[in-house]
Amino acid sequence: MALSFDLLLGSFLVLFGFYTLVARQIAPQQFSKLGPMKEKFGDKVGLTIHFVAYTVLPLACGATILSSILLK
């Protein structure tokens, strides 16, 4: 398997998703966009939007890209 853009992108997205998942537990103050999202949408909705956008979507997209490469 050659090193391709899809492999790099999928790996980056999965690692980024895991990073935000762990960092949210260890140091939530480092997320600069979380505060404004909470102010604009409220605590619960702002946290949900941030979690989906920065954790769930990268993990899902990265896993999809990597699985499409591995299942070829």
The pLDDT tens digits of the residues spanning 15-55 come to 999 999 999 889 888 889 888 999 999 999 999 999 999 99
At residue 50, the pLDDT reads 94
* Stated pTM of the model: 0.86
Cβ within 8 Å of residue 63, ≥6 positions away: 10, 14
Q: CA geometry: angle at 24 spanning 18 and 29, to 5°?
A: 140
Q: Report the distance separating Cα 32 and Cα 26, nearest Å.
A: 15
Task: Measure the CA dihedral 14/40/47/25, to 10°.
Answer: 80
Whether residue 65 is predicted with pLDDT greater than 60 in this model: the reply is yes
Tell me 42's DSSP state: -
d(CA 28, CA 46): 13
Select the more confidently predicted residue: 72 or 62: 62
